[in-house]
Amino acid sequence: QVQLVESGGGSVQVGGSMTLSCIGSGDTFLNSSMGWFRQAPGQERKGVAAIYSEGGTTYYSDSVKGRFTIFQDNAKNTVYLQMNSLKLEDTAMYYCAAEPKDFCPTQTWYIERTYDTWGQGTQVTVS
């Protein structure tokens, strides 16, 4: 069973940058596809970025494409979300998620139920 712990959240000014980290443990972490989701107050949780285990292909929502980068360091069992040019609307609780089984990434990377393991979240506030 994979366990995930996010860190790196906090407060940042508009236009600033921040990098979130998600450390994974468990036998299947290295073979898992990873996703980052966010949830703003009063809104549903939405997919932000994902990296698929097979080939390392990355996916981004339109709202963050060109500003955010997801990457993974297998030696550190960590997946990162580098966030640049942050906007007010990026304020949210950010969650990482893992799924060890194969799935169709192009159609489901952004769907919550695609992933079976979730971290506790880290708050990002842009002001």
Q: What is the pLDDT along the chain (127 residues), one digit of tens a residue?
A: 779 999 999 999 999 999 999 999 877 778 899 999 999 999 999 999 999 998 899 999 999 999 999 999 989 999 999 999 999 999 999 999 999 888 989 999 999 999 999 999 999 999 9
User: Given this model, what pLDDT does residue 25 score?
Assistant: 87
User: Given this model, what pLDDT does residue 26 score?
Assistant: 77
The C-alpha atoms of residue 83 and residue 91 are separated, in whole angstroms, by 12
Buried b or exposed e, range 6-29, using 16+ CB within 10 angstroms: bebbeebeeeeebebbbbbeeeeb
